[in-house]
Amino acid sequence: MMPSISRSRESLWVWLFWTLGVYLALELGFFFITDLLLKKTVTELVGPYLAIAVPWIVFAPIIWWLRRSEEARVLPARLARIWGLSMAFFGGAEIAAILYSGLRLRFMTLTDDLVASVLFLLPSVPILYFVMYYQALRHISARVSIGNGDHRPK
């Protein structure tokens, strides 16, 4: 039986199959473009590829769980806090992966990497948290105020 994207809300495994498949395919395209442009070997690019892919592998199940929790009518403020924390961790992990990739591919020195870490991570993590918190709170509260809580086509 072929898994369908319409069943992705029911099963974590179908959700992971679709989201991780699409994400890793897009990353693989970028991987090959980078290989052509930078003339790097595959072994040099595997570490940065995996570093950038891992945060989504962790974040995708959290998204599925948060959407299921929203359907279970968990308090909007609690869900919004978890959305905000998840986005802050995801953004921080992606920034760290990009900085690691820059260091690994020798685009920057260790000193540059440490300075960039401070400059990017310090403002980004709180900004990502608060933007996601308020967006999620507004979106979830709007669904709850309508009454049904889920207006996606079935």
The verdict on residue 1 lying in a domain is: no
Whether 30 maps to a domain, the answer reads: yes
pLDDT at 148 (0 to 100): 57
Whether residue 46 is contained in a domain is answered as yes
Closest CA to 27 of 4, 68, 5, 56: 56
Phi and psi at residue 41, in whole multiples of 5°?
A: -80, 165
Domain count, the chain: 1
Neighbours of 60 (CB within 10 A): 18
Q: Which residues span the domain enclosing 71?
A: 15-146
Give residue 1's pLDDT.
45
User: Is there a domain that residue 2 lies in?
Assistant: no
For the record, the structure tokens of 136 come out as: 């999620």
Q: Is residue 79 part of a domain?
A: yes
The answer as to whether 9 is a domain residue is: no
The verdict on residue 151 lying in a domain is no
pTM of the model: 0.76
Query: Tokens in use for 95?
Result: 């920034």
Instruction: State CA 100 to chain mean position distance.
Output: 17
The stretches in the chain having pLDDT less than 70 are 1-10, 147-154
Residue 79 confidence (pLDDT): 92
Q: Is residue 152 part of a domain?
A: no
Burial of residue 4, with CB atoms counted within 10 A of its CB: 0-12 exposed, 13-18 middle, 19 or more buried: exposed
Give the Cβ contact number of residue 76 at 10 Å.
19
Model confidence pLDDT, tens digit, residues 126-145: 999 999 999 999 988 887 77
**What does the DSSP 8-state code read for residue 6?**
G
Residue matched to tokens 């690994």: 104
pLDDT tens track for 9-26: 667 788 778 887 888 788
